[in-house]
Chains A and B, each alone.
Chain A
Amino acid sequence: MHFDLIVIGMGLSGLMAAKTASESGSKVLILGKGMGALCLFSNTIDLLETLPKGMKLDEGLSQWIKDHPQHPYSKVGAKIVEEALTSFTSLFPLPYSFVSAGDGNSLLPTGAGTLRPTYLIPTTMVAGASVREQGGLIVGFKGFKDFYPDYAATLLGCRSLTLPPFRTFHEEITAAGLARSMEKESFREEIGREIRREMGNETRVGFPAVLGVRDPWGVKKGLEETIGAEVFEIPILPPSIPGMRIFNRFKEWLVQRGVTVLLGHSVSKAILRGRRCEGIRVSNPPLSSFYSADRYILSTGRFVGGGLVANEEKIYEPIFDLPVSQPRSREEWFRKSFFSNLSHPVHQAGILTDSSLRPVDDKGERVLENVWIAGSILAGHDSTNEKSREGVEIATGYMAAKCAMKK
């Protein structure tokens, strides 16, 4: 089958690219092995750690761009980053939407009782931003091994409550299982009563971020009614339920728009002729098929997603075998100390591009004409340490599609 655009990789950048391209009226195919880092790490939308509270977004970005000419944000430009964020948030109308607390970052509590700066937050997390000043009750579930209310509460200056095991669970309690239970009114009432009994003078109650996948706002409201206090979510270990919400919303929207969405499909090979890609071989065992398009966007992520692969000697890109900018030898990939205040050089490795996000070699020569690059596979940034993961994904996914669909 032939498309205007094929997007390879179904993380946040790929989804943004598919959305943007389909809005321009193109016939789009998006395919991916899995749901990408989105469902592992994305709870909120990070933009940049160094966006102090009160600083305007374009101001902070412009400064960053000036200081980091090779950064993906510098390729996109502050204006388009903002445009891309608006396009993203438009997918999430109230009540479950993404908001920023005024200008700059908010500090949200985490499962380790720390505070974490982030830019856009889902409305179910907003009330957590002031937990350190205002206190609260942090609630967890006995038998749920990925959240320890006492640990987080002590560090946040809150009280904690561990709910006893509930009849609902016959197997190990997982985030997904909890999220499903949370969607049941009977379960909410059962725990709500228990919490109400334990409430002191707290006015807010923090839960691990498992307040349902389909209707988190409804779950929040339901809990608030039984408990009689404001409820918020706290991001925890992967998998990320809030990330799944984002994924599901994109998928639903794309399918509705007529985009072809193939999950569980991985590209085994790109067929190249000269500097053009002519098609891709896709495997979905036991089947293997061929798809072609005028243009392609590569948004396969880094090592976790399989966009980059490292062997003993070097880092390579497995689909197009694109040049990967990287430290000279493996010895230089990581620093001696894990918590070094300088980031590990391997994180800066990735695909180099020109200003239109097309891949180039180390001399700056364009290597492919009809392929654009988006997301965390791009060289020159460190999403974890800069806290730029979702921002870079959204901005470059949007920009790659805009560039690809020009003319």
Chain B
Amino acid sequence: MDIKTEVLIIGGGATGTGIARDLSLRAIPCVLVEKGDLASGASGRNHGLLHSGARYAVSDPEAARECISENRILRRIAGHCIEETGGLFISLSEDSPQFRERFLMACEEAGIPTALYSRDQALELEPELNPDLLSAVKVPDGAINPFELVRANAKDAERHGAKLLFHTGITSLLIDQNQVRGGLALDLLSGEDYKIEASFVVNATGAWVNQVLKLAGLRIDMALSKGSMLITNQRLNQRVINRCRPASDGDIVVPNETVSILGTTSVRSEEVEDFEVTPPEVSLLLTEASRMIPAIRGARLIRAYAGIRPLFQSGGTGGDRQISRSFALIDHGERDGLKNLMTITGGKLITYRLMAERTSDLICRKMGVDVSCSTHLKPLPVVAESLRPKDRLQKIAPGGEVLCDCELVRREELEEILETMQFRDIRDILHRTRLAKGTCQGGFCVYRLLGLLHESGLVKESPNKVLKAFLEERWKGIRPILWGGALKEEELIESIYKGIFNLKDSVEFGVGSSE
């Protein structure tokens, strides 16, 4: 089933889906391939902060200006993915007062509105803040749901004619003379491979950009920086809380629906896929974040996770926190003499739209067409039903089955989703519901999900194989936070799967295996 199109986009994160939407709104045919599910790269593993730009105001004014401008646009076009919480940059006794003055000035220069609050005013707004704080600066930070954002872009792109292929990787590039002509795609679930011919190829693979460029014998200078985050099982703050000091580790707490997310760290990484949150990172995050919100010390953590920041290095030295958060659009025709291939990387989640606009503009120039961008004007579609717990509670009919008790996910809700999607992998459904996102992280409900999938004839292999793979993946997020209440619950969960169900690493008693 070879495919012909105008633009082949590699990567289904915010950037790739943003480009697919932008191009299709301009009526330019495109095909997007993503080797995992939607947002399985950094777009699904970040802090979910709708930056106001304030964090970068002092050190990286260009990124700051991009952020505030995109922040305003996203509030307009993606309101349903955003909670307009506002943010505070708090100064503690050890933070320099001079920095705060520079910070206020830099925000003003970047066009970021601020207001200065006294200690008492700040504590009134956020009672859990460290009472030793000196002052707080209010900025228009917010919380953004990255999955909703990416899904909304994908949906709008498809609606306008783009074709999106998931669980499909690009394994080589079709190169003819000095020009790229498409790529070879591999369906990772079925093993089928086919050609995608295209006039242009966009490499929007974030931290993987060099793996794709390698297919053409090229590379660019990237710094891969792992960042780790921790999730608490309650929401401790109403606004985004930042530390008013040069950007550092553990100095942001983002509220997200019913939880708070503490982050981040910055550790240079060579690995793009196989990385973990280490115990020293957990300790660092807790120590730093509890300086801002002391209640974090006693809070029940539900998960640790990490992502890899794709940072583009345009030369210069210094730590990874100093590398610009601005993005890079590279025309490999100009840079390397390989025409019609471009790479777009770096940047932030919230600058994805601008990155997509610039990329699409470049393609239009090359195609000689003159249609301008409209993504900043047209609102994104709403994809999911409301995920707020209050709304969920109302939907539970008497006698109804709540499969996920932590997040109140009903059986009917899952059945509806299964009807509207083409089910290929358990992760597809986990990305589309709140199931397994709560305190037990799926410890109880994933068995139930498998029961339902099995009933519907959707599990092709042994359900226990899928179950074990899920538990192993879940473990990566759980293991770093196992003490207190979390450890207690984990003892129960391990006893269920290894004890009552007797699931094991390799040996499994069941039909088809020998005892």
A interface residue numbers (CB < 8 A to B) = 37, 40-41, 43, 107, 110-117, 132, 143, 145-148, 150-151, 154-157, 162, 165, 169-173, 235-238, 302-304, 306, 309-312, 330-331, 333-334, 336-341, 344, 346, 383-385, 387, 389
User: Is there an interface contact between A111 and B498, defined as CB atoms closer than 8 Å?
Assistant: no
Given known A148-B451, A334-B479, contact A172–B504 (CB-CB < 8 A):
no
User: Is there an interface contact between B483 and A312, defined as CB atoms closer than 8 Å?
Assistant: yes
In angstroms, Cα B490 to Cα A384, docked, is 12
Q: 3 shortest A-B CB distances, which residue pairs?
A: A148-B451, A338-B475, A115-B509
Asked whether any CB of chain A lies closer than 8 Å to the CB of B463, the reply is yes
User: Is there an interface contact between A111 and B501, defined as CB atoms closer than 8 Å?
Assistant: yes
Q: Say which one of B103-111, B231-239, B397-405 lies at the interface with A.
A: B397-405
User: Is there an interface contact between B496 and A114, defined as CB atoms closer than 8 Å?
Assistant: no
Q: Which residues of A contact B454 (CB under 8 A)?
A: 148, 150-151, 154
Which of B411, B482, B505 is within 8 Å of A340, CB to CB?
Answer: B505
Residue in chain A with minimal CB distance to B451:
A148
A145 to chain B, nearest CB (A): 5
Q: Which residues of A contact B402 (CB under 8 A)?
A: 145, 172
Beyond A172-B400, A337-B472, 10 additional pairs, beta carbon < 8 A: A113-B463, A114-B508, A115-B509, A148-B448, A170-B398, A236-B500, A237-B496, A311-B484, A337-B505, A339-B498
In angstroms, Cα B496 to Cα A237, docked, is 7
In angstroms, Cα B400 to Cα A169, docked, is 11
User: Is there an interface contact between B475 and A143, defined as CB atoms closer than 8 Å?
Assistant: no
User: Is there an interface contact between A110 and B500, defined as CB atoms closer than 8 Å?
Assistant: yes
In B304-323, the 8 Å CB interface with A consists of none
Max chain A C-beta neighbours (<10 A), residue from B400, B474, B501:
B501
Q: Which residues of B contact A311 (CB under 8 A)?
A: 483-484
Max chain A C-beta neighbours (<10 A), residue from B276, B286, B483, B503:
B483
Q: How many A-B residue pairs have CB under 8 A?
A: 157
A109 to chain B, nearest CB (A): 9
User: Is there an interface contact between B502 and A116, defined as CB atoms closer than 8 Å?
Assistant: yes
Q: Which residues of A contact B501 (CB under 8 A)?
A: 110-112, 114, 116
A80 to chain B, nearest CB (A): 25
B interface residue numbers (CB < 8 A to A) = 276, 279, 283, 286, 398-403, 411, 444, 447-448, 450-452, 454-455, 462-464, 467-468, 471-472, 474-475, 479, 482-484, 487-488, 491-492, 494-496, 498-506, 508-511, 515
A399 to chain B, nearest CB (A): 23
In angstroms, Cα B402 to Cα A143, docked, is 9
16 A-B pairs within 8 Å (CB atoms) are namely A41-B500, A117-B502, A151-B450, A151-B463, A156-B511, A169-B399, A173-B399, A237-B444, A238-B492, A304-B488, A304-B495, A330-B483, A334-B479, A338-B494, A344-B494, A384-B498
User: Is there an interface contact between A116 and B399, defined as CB atoms closer than 8 Å?
Assistant: no
Max chain A C-beta neighbours (<10 A), residue from B448, B467, B472, B509:
B509
Q: Which residues of B contact A40 (CB under 8 A)?
A: 492, 495
In angstroms, Cα B464 to Cα A113, docked, is 9
A143 to chain B, nearest CB (A): 6
User: Is there an interface contact between A341 and B505, defined as CB atoms closer than 8 Å?
Assistant: yes
Given known A115-B509, A143-B401, A311-B483, contact A339–B471 (CB-CB < 8 A):
yes
In angstroms, Cα B301 to Cα A310, docked, is 14
Which of A150, A155, A303 is within 8 Å of B511, CB to CB?
Answer: A155
B477 to chain A, nearest CB (A): 11
User: Is there an interface contact between A171 and B464, defined as CB atoms closer than 8 Å?
Assistant: no
Q: Which residues of A contact B502 (CB under 8 A)?
A: 110, 112, 114-117, 387
A233 to chain B, nearest CB (A): 13
User: Is there an interface contact between B464 and A114, defined as CB atoms closer than 8 Å?
Assistant: yes
Q: Which residues of B contact A157 (CB under 8 A)?
A: 511
B377 to chain A, nearest CB (A): 46
Residue in chain A with minimal CB distance to B396:
A172
B255 to chain A, nearest CB (A): 23
Q: Which residues of A contact B482 (CB under 8 A)?
A: 310, 333-334
Which of A162, A171, A310 is within 8 Å of B487, CB to CB?
Answer: A310
A385 to chain B, nearest CB (A): 6
A401 to chain B, nearest CB (A): 25
A88 to chain B, nearest CB (A): 19
In angstroms, Cα B498 to Cα A340, docked, is 11
In angstroms, Cα B397 to Cα A170, docked, is 10
Q: Which residues of B contact A310 (CB under 8 A)?
A: 482-484, 487
Residue in chain A with minimal CB distance to B488:
A303
Given known A113-B510, A151-B451, A302-B491, contact A337–B484 (CB-CB < 8 A):
no
Given known A237-B447, A330-B279, contact A336–B499 (CB-CB < 8 A):
no
Q: Which residues of A contact B451 (CB under 8 A)?
A: 145, 147-148, 150-151
In angstroms, Cα B454 to Cα A238, docked, is 21
In angstroms, Cα B491 to Cα A115, docked, is 21
Residue in chain B with minimal CB distance to A333:
B482
User: Is there an interface contact between B510 and A41, defined as CB atoms closer than 8 Å?
Assistant: no
